[in-house]
């Protein structure tokens, strides 16, 4: 493992331990929200948050719907406040803000209360403002993360949402203890693979950095639950490298965005197991006629003739929990690339930006 050059890289390496601790302490972490809502007829859930918090909701959505047997929506807080019509009053709105002071999430939670809905909030800050604007609060137990671009906080938020879903579903009787144990076993299998993924991704970064480091245009493509990672990975690289980076869903990209690819474009493909992996490989092959800067991230399954640009390693590829694996290579790029550009990724471009804007 490479010696941590920045706090951000160090936090990436702390992710496995952080996830294991959240799972081990899940009863305590979720006690308040489970006690509050186990007897209440909740029929649907909205998860609201901005940036990484929003992406965390997208990443956890499929698992929550599976264990709770209800619809889960993920929305930006201000869009929820100003545009979303919620007709079912048996709705729980969960607001997420790792730092706890998000202006938009506070207003989203206030809007939920005005609509007569149930509320909860998640934050790593014990004195979070969002806690004052929700019926119950949940601690995001990820420890310190003193940098603008969050990494273990992303994975930890996903895990916390999943623990809420798991414990609430047990309390409501929508899953059995045996089934919950199966899910936990699958989670542990993925978590045990994360250090290996981090080491492999670090070696891979040092293979591609010379061609990647001067780029001005980056695109990240994902599908299924890893669409959330396409958005989050793009955000992380954008926050630290500070160039144009965008994340796209695979089929959406194919429906027109491909027109923007030029020889100097750099494209990352999140190639998780599933029916769209072959489609992503076909896209990589097709776009290789437009740019040589293609980086496929995935296992060797169904993948012939990888190049030195590709990260081909043994992913567990769980249909719900692979989000923890596939975000790491993009986080590693975001943590290491700015160093070569003379940028400290631990420090935002303008440390007083949110103070000036009143957004946190």
Mean of the pLDDT values across residues 53-57?
98
Residues 6+ apart with CB under 8 A from 15: 151, 152, 155, 156, 194, 198, 324, 328
- Classified as helix, coil or strand, 272 is coil
203 and 187, same structural domain?
Answer: no
pLDDT digits (tens, 9 = 90+) for 303-322: 988 999 999 999 999 999 99
| Token pair recorded at residue 6 | 């920045």
For the chain, what percent of residues have pLDDT higher than 90? 86
Q: What is the per-residue pLDDT for 1?
A: 44
Q: Which of 191, 217, 244 is the last residue of a domain?
A: 191
Q: What is the per-residue pLDDT for 273?
A: 96
Mean of the pLDDT values across residues 74-87?
97
Give Cα separations from 335 to 46, 88, 222, 297, 308 (angstroms).
31, 43, 20, 17, 21
Has residue 100 been placed in a domain?
A: yes
Mean of the pLDDT values across residues 225-229?
98
Whether the predicted pLDDT of 355 surpasses 80:
no
Whether the predicted pLDDT of 346 surpasses 80:
no
Residues 6+ apart with CB under 8 A from 270: 220, 221, 222, 223, 226, 229, 230, 233, 280, 297, 298, 326
**Model pTM?**
0.95
Output helix, strand, coil percentages for the chain, rounded to the nearest 5: 50, 15, 35
Q: What is the per-residue pLDDT for 4?
A: 52
Q: What is the per-residue pLDDT for 187?
A: 98
Mean of the pLDDT values across residues 275-295?
96
Task: Give the DSSP per-residue string, 160-172.
Answer: HHHHHHHHHHHHH
Has residue 1 been placed in a domain?
A: no
CB-based contact 138:32 (threshold 8 Å): yes
147 and 218, same structural domain?
Answer: no
| Token pair recorded at residue 107 | 């207003």
CB-based contact 65:329 (threshold 8 Å): no
Q: What is the per-residue pLDDT for 340?
A: 86
Mean of the pLDDT values across residues 260-277?
96
From 312, 61, 18, 314, select the one nearest 165 (Cα to Cα): 61
Q: What is the per-residue pLDDT for 298?
A: 97
From 330, 335, 354, select the one nearest 149 (Cα to Cα): 335
Residues 6+ apart with CB under 8 A from 135: 36, 118, 119, 120
Give Cα separations from 4 to 105, 184, 213, 214, 224 (angstroms).
33, 30, 19, 23, 32
Q: Which of 79-93, 160-174, 341-355 has the lowest mean pLDDT?
A: 341-355
CB-based contact 118:37 (threshold 8 Å): yes
Q: What is the per-residue pLDDT for 359?
A: 64
Task: Return the DSSP state at 3.
Answer: P
Mean of the pLDDT values across residues 240-266?
95
199 and 184, same structural domain?
Answer: no
Q: Give the position of tokens 């796209």.
A: 248
223 and 146, same structural domain?
Answer: no
Q: Which domain holds residue 294?
A: 195-340
- Mean pLDDT score of the chain: 94
Whether the predicted pLDDT of 236 surpasses 80:
yes
Has residue 2 been placed in a domain?
A: no
Whether the predicted pLDDT of 173 surpasses 90:
yes
Give the total number of structural domains in the chain.
2
133 and 84, same structural domain?
Answer: yes
Q: Which of 14-18, 215-219, 239-243, 351-355 has the lowest mean pLDDT?
A: 351-355
Task: Return the DSSP state at 2.
Answer: P
Burial of 109 (0-12, 13-18, 19+ CB in 10 A): buried
95 and 170, same structural domain?
Answer: yes
321 and 222, same structural domain?
Answer: yes
Has residue 266 been placed in a domain?
A: yes
Q: What is the per-residue pLDDT for 327?
A: 98
From 149, 153, 130, select the one nearest 140 (Cα to Cα): 153
| Token pair recorded at residue 108 | 């989203």
Q: What is the per-residue pLDDT for 349?
A: 76
333 and 201, same structural domain?
Answer: yes
CATH for 41: 3.40.50.10490
Q: What is the per-residue pLDDT for 326?
A: 98
Q: Which of 24-28, 148-152, 277-281 has the lowest mean pLDDT?
A: 148-152
From 112, 287, 318, 294, select the one nearest 215 (Cα to Cα): 294
Give Cα separations from 154 to 93, 161, 212, 279, 301 (angstroms).
19, 11, 24, 27, 27
228 and 130, same structural domain?
Answer: no
Q: What is the per-residue pLDDT for 63?
A: 98
State the Cα–Cα distance between residues 304 and 41, nearest whole angstrom.
50
From 145, 105, 107, select the one nearest 121 (Cα to Cα): 105
In this prediction, residue 5 has a pLDDT band, given cuts at 50, 70 and 90, of low
46 and 157, same structural domain?
Answer: yes
Which of 152-166, 235-249, 329-343 holds the top average pLDDT? 152-166
């Amino acid at each position: 493992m490479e010696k941590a050059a920045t706090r951000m890289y160090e936090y990436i390496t702390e992710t496995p331990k952080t996830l294991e601790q959240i799972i081990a302490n899940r009863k305590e972490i979720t006690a308040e929200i489970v006690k509050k809502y186990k007897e209440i007829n909740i029929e649907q859930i909205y998860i609201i948050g901005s940036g990484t918090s929003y992406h965390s909701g997208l990443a956890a959505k499929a698992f929550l719907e599976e264990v709770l047997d209800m619809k889960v929506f993920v929305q930006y807080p201000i869009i929820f406040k100003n545009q979303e019509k919620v007709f079912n009053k048996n709705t729980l709105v969960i607001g997420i803000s790792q730092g706890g002071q998000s202006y938009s999430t506070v207003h989203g939670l206030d809007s939920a209360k005005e609509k007569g809905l149930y509320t909860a909030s998640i934050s790593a800050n014990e004195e979070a403002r969002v806690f004052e604007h929700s019926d119950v609060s949940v601690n995001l137990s990820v420890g310190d993360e003193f940098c603008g671009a969050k990494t273990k906080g992303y994975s930890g938020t996903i895990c916390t949402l999943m623990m809420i879903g798991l414990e609430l579903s047990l309390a409501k009787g929508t899953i059995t203890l045996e089934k919950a144990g199966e899910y936990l076993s699958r989670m542990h299998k993925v978590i045990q693979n994360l250090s290996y993924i981090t080491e492999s991704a670090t070696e891979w970064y040092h293979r591609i950095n010379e061609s990647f480091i001067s780029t001005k245009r980056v695109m990240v493509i994902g599908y299924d639950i890893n669409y959330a990672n396409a958005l989050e990975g793009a955000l992380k690289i954008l926050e630290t490298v500070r160039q144009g980076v965008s994340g796209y869903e695979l089929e959406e990209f194919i429906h027109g965005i491909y027109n923007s690819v030029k020889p100097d474009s750099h494209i990352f493909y999140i190639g998780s197991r599933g029916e769209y992996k072959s489609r992503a490989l076909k896209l990589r092959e097709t776009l290789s006629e437009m740019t040589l800067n293609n980086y496929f991230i995935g296992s060797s399954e169904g993948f012939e003739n990888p190049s030195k640009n590709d990260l081909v390693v043994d992913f567990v590829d769980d249909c719900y929990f692979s989000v923890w694996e596939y975000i790491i290579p993009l986080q590693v790029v975001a943590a290491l690339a700015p160093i070569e550009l003379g940028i400290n990724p631990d420090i935002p471009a303008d440390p007083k930006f949110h103070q000036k804007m009143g957004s946190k």
